[in-house]
Structure 1
């Protein structure tokens, strides 16, 4: 058996000695070797009224200097930092830049340190930001001339120039977490769906399995005297149709993703009482001009079998991201002309995702 002992020991091995560079490069790989911050509020800046700026605590990934060994440095600021800003030029504007940078030991100066700094630009008729080299660019400060009397303007540059919001990687499990770092991808171990967290909500990703795009649900509603309108709140998935792309909770359906969708509902009831029967799909905030699609028919003749009624509703169209987050509910109503019980309804709902 051929083998060779490797020159670097396993990272974090008890009793071993090694340089910090291998650890840093390994951690850099977990961050995709990208510069950026880890949460929306990390290293956020605000101007004071006396030519000072305050930078909030946070974590970041800072580029290594060009004379270093590559990768990025992971840094943390545990408390707010206040920095001075040079007062404005009398007649000309300038652009300063707030940056984070690292001075490694082999680069001279103070070893093992990182800094927050305001790099000052040159006053000019058409000012440009200063060159900052290997640094994480956080904000640009437009420092207007003293003659203009205008306050300093901040421009958030934390996601500029290829800098990223660095998420917490990928997750998998039976229950989706309520929140996560922006960009985190979670995969359900039961439905095989994958979701990405946008920073405010989970968004369903592309179809991983064509069988997930078709859904069949069924439910019923039995109404007694005096009850004219009710939601069908007992929808369940048909055999072999559990999961898929939609979410179902207490009879309420969420499509959860934008694209082209087809909805088809079949309602069936049988009651001898004459009157008016109505079924509808209720979708407030959906793509329809009104909040529902309905079918209303006269029915009944006062004897068994005269009330048999089959009421279909179908729709195909484009659903936006915001519309897909709104709930779809099946409702029904029966208004008898002579009083008496309301009929029971059986309903089937077919929901098919047709792509983008």
Structure 2
């Protein structure tokens, strides 16, 4: 089996692969008891002719795969009794109370605004049902950002109007960045320091950080970011969408890590490590949280499907969202069992956890 996976990885980094190739890829499978069932990689660390190989210890920006760890951090805050999943978070972060709802723009280009009537809760933030979107993906929010001259990737950039009243829809956005701010509020730590103290140091993770610019020792392991304007074009090196020296730690998209580190974190969740969460809280990681998942399904099986969940296009299993990721409620034949949880990132990393059996991680 290992040799077959090795061949698959090598195929995807081959320059002659039809449909475009990857620069580098790592794949790790964790089983129970911390056992590594597979660990392998292929390709190059960067785009230079003499590039070192890409390995499971290469440091990559994992973008929205940050969300899993931030969500677990928020659940730790719940476990400690600081806040409940359904408490009004506006009592903790004043900005999150009395929010505007952007309903579009009128014929004169003026925003059409109504007011929030339902409180934002930690549950709605973690499940993307709070109404917070991403201005990168939403034309109205993009227009709002342009008119307000907001600096990207800043705390101010998260202070945007909602798309709907909390709990009344599903939209992918900055909700988990706000969940990270709640973690910072109750812990008195930056998210960087909180992750180091509560996850990275206990689990022995030495190559994971929000502040990649402060860790010169990681520079030799750091992978370049590639992009292409056309799905089958050759990859070219591109700039990161985030700063090496961020003004705020983005709980939604700010982490740099390695396949080895991230898979160790997944393994701790798989084993229900008591240092991370309470036993009863682990049960929530696979439980559907949305009373009605139609808005989620419309998004993932609509225009965003090929980006956010390409493996779910055919067949289309019933899906929902847990407190940490997307849950498929049906078996996906040949791929994963029902109640598996997954998420990904804009740089194309992906994690999948079949919580009774194994966890898998792909970094590219």
Report the TM range for the smaller structure's normalisation: under 0.3
Greater helix fraction, Structure 1 or Structure 2: 2
TM-score of the two chains, using structure 1 as the length reference:
0.20
For the pair shown, which has the larger CA radius of gyration, 1 or 2? 1
TM-score of the two chains, using structure 2 as the length reference:
0.19
Greater strand fraction, Structure 1 or Structure 2: 1
